[in-house]
Amino acid sequence: MNGMKFEPKIVAFVCNWCSYAAADLAGVSRIQYPTNVVNVKMMCSGRIDPLMVIDAFIRGADGVLVSGCHPGDCHYIHGNYLARRRLYVLKKLLVGIGIETERFRIEWISASESQRYSKVIEDMVKDIKRLGPLELSHGDEK
Partner 1 sequence: MRDYARETEELKRVCMDILKDVDNIVAWIGDILRPYPSLLSEDNLNEIVWSPFCASSTVTYLKKHKNELLKKNIGIVVKDCDLRALNVMFQENVFDREKIVIIGMRCDGVANHLFFEDVMYVHEIKSDDKFVYVNGKMVEWSELLHTCCNTCTYSYIETKYVIGEYMRKKNNDWMHLSKINDMDYDNRRKYFIKIAERCIRCYACREICPVCTCLECAVDPIERKISPKTTPHQKTSRATWIFREKSASENIFYLLMRAIHMSGRCVRCGCCERVCPMAIPLMDIIDIVNKTVIEKYHYDAGRDPLEKPFLTFYSEKDPEDDMEGCI
Reference 136, options 57, 55, 18, 63; nearest CA is 57
Site pattern 12..51 for partner 1 (x: CB under 8 A): --------------------------------------xx
Of these, 10, 22, 99, 109, which contacts partner 1 (CB under 8 A)?
A: 99
Strand partners, 105: 65
Determine the distance from the C-alpha atom of residue 133 to the mean position of all C-alpha atoms in its chain, rounded to a whole number. 16
List for the chain the helix, strand, coil content (%; round to 5): 40, 15, 40
Residue with smaller CB distance to partner 1, 22 or 99: 99
Instruction: Check binding of 96 to partner 1 (CB under 8 A).
Output: yes
Instruction: Check binding of 140 to partner 1 (CB under 8 A).
Output: yes
Strand partners, 10: 37, 63
Residues within the interface to partner 1 (CB under 8 A): 50-51, 54-55, 58-59, 71-72, 78, 81-82, 84-86, 88-101, 106, 136-140
